[in-house]
Amino acid sequence: MWVSAILAAGGRGARMGAQVPKQLLELGGRTILQRSFDTLEQMDAIAEVIVALPGDLAANPPAFLTSSRKEVRIVDGGDRRQDSVANAFNKVTTARADRVLIHDAARPFATPNLFHRVIESSRQHNAVTAGLRPTDTVKQVHGRQPGAEIPLVSRTLPRESLYLIQTPQIFLTRHLGDAIALARGSADATDEATDEATLLERAGFPVAVVDGEPTNIKITTEQDMRVAEALIGQAGPVPPPLSLLPRIGIGYDLHRLEPGRRFILGGIEIKHQTGLIGHSDADVLCHALTDAILGAAAMGDIGRHFPDTDPAWKDADSIQLLRHAVRLVRDAGFVVVNLDAVIIAELPKLAPHVDTIRHHLADKIGVDVRAISLKGKTNEKVGELGRNEAVAVHAVALLAVAPERSFA
């Protein structure tokens, strides 16, 4: 599945009454726009992001958009939300994208889990939106009667059949294109759709609903902003349970040994008659740990971030690659709880070096040395490892949501 994402941020948030567009207001050190974008960026299922911004902001976009690891395109927003989305849709790589996901930048608290559930549901349904079942009784009212100060109830609606719709929403690319074209061709230009699911409904396509998140609020007014600030404070509500679960990743690497090469393990050089061969310094331990950490955060592997086809990583210090992986997962809201690795090598004997390596790794990546476990094993003279032709490492990393960002 190839998913293109549209981040709708083309409005100015006039109801907020702020001096800047509301998407540039800060929440806990990051703008509303960046919080929404950061979640899209960390989703491996999303291949590209098209961001609709007000014209002046599109001409001078924030640095986090232009330095992203994903393909990002920026377009001018329109007068209405559906115009902004239509402008963004024109930049979708339609030749490759079979689905387009749309999210309101003003919903900065949608979790990766919600995005994942919406995307996965689109495997069974061609149009999917997030939504919440109302818990309050819902009533429809008349317009105000002459001389009346407040409206009168006309009927009570069955709440079991009602949903309060959120984003993200996802659609087959061709269906969304048809719905946008139909809306543009409508004779009634004032008939505004407040979300793209409405456009799909009007075009005759069925829309499925997955359960949204109560904390996935849309920030529109100053009161919403105060609620948002409370949500990221220490006294905020308990986040969805999945976001509290630990994340486990596994890593594996193997490098051949060759005379005349340096033997680098965990950033420490060990004197030996042979050393490890690789594009970088061939630090097999750092490579396996890097893969385990990235894997725990679902951020790909070492080859994706530091490809051996890139001359920039020729003879690179693998400790720096490991440090970069730790920074990536920290930026995504995780902390390293512990690392465990088994190093399989006939020679050199590793026992005299294990504690030195543990302390060096702990210092470089900023964790307690008690969080790092290393074990040296032989391969009992079996295979290339047993013949002392190579060294292999199996690694496991455990990550947890950073306390200060357990919701944010």
Alpha-carbon distance of 37 to 56, in angstroms, equals 19
Domain boundary among the residues 243, 276, 294 is at 243
Residue listed under structure tokens 């924030």 = 62
pTM of the model as a whole = 0.59
Shared domain check, 257 and 239: no
pLDDT tens-digit series, residues 204-252: 999 999 999 999 999 998 899 989 888 887 434 444 444 557 899 999 9
Please give the residue that has the higher pLDDT: either 189 or 353.
353
Token representation of residue 291: 């893969």
| Domain enclosing residue 323, as ranges | 247-405
SS3 state at 266: coil
Domain boundary among the residues 183, 211, 243 is at 243
| Percent residues over pLDDT 70 in the chain | 91
Q: Are 179 and 202 in contact (CB under 8 A)?
A: yes
| Percent residues over pLDDT 90 in the chain | 60
Q: List, in order, residues 6 or more apart from 148 with CB less than 8 Å away.
A: none
Shared domain check, 260 and 150: no
Average pLDDT over residues 182-193: 71
Shared domain check, 394 and 283: yes
pLDDT of residue 334: 87
Structural domains in the chain (count): 2
Shared domain check, 109 and 199: yes
Domain boundary among the residues 243, 269, 288 is at 243
pLDDT of residue 9: 92
Shared domain check, 205 and 273: no
Alpha-carbon distance of 399 to 292, in angstroms, equals 10
Check residue 149 and report its DSSP letter. Answer: S
Alpha-carbon distance of 388 to 272, in angstroms, equals 12
User: Do you know the residue count of the chain?
Assistant: 408
Q: Which of the four pLDDT bands, split at 50, 70 and 90, describes residue 81?
A: confident
SS3 state at 52: strand
Shared domain check, 309 and 175: no
Average pLDDT over residues 39-43: 90
pLDDT of residue 18: 63
pLDDT of residue 230: 87
Q: Are 104 and 220 in contact (CB under 8 A)?
A: no
- Closest among 27, 11, 12, 20 to 225, alpha carbons compared: 27
pLDDT of residue 403: 59
Q: Which residues on neighbouring strands pair with residue 291, listed in sequence order?
A: none
Shared domain check, 320 and 253: yes
pLDDT of residue 246: 86
Average pLDDT over the chain, rounded to whole?
88
Going by DSSP bridges, is the β-strand pair 3-8/46-53 parallel, antiparallel, or unpaired?
Answer: parallel
CB atoms within 10 A of CB 178: 17
**CATH number, residue 254:** 3.30.1330.50
Largest CA distance in the chain: 97
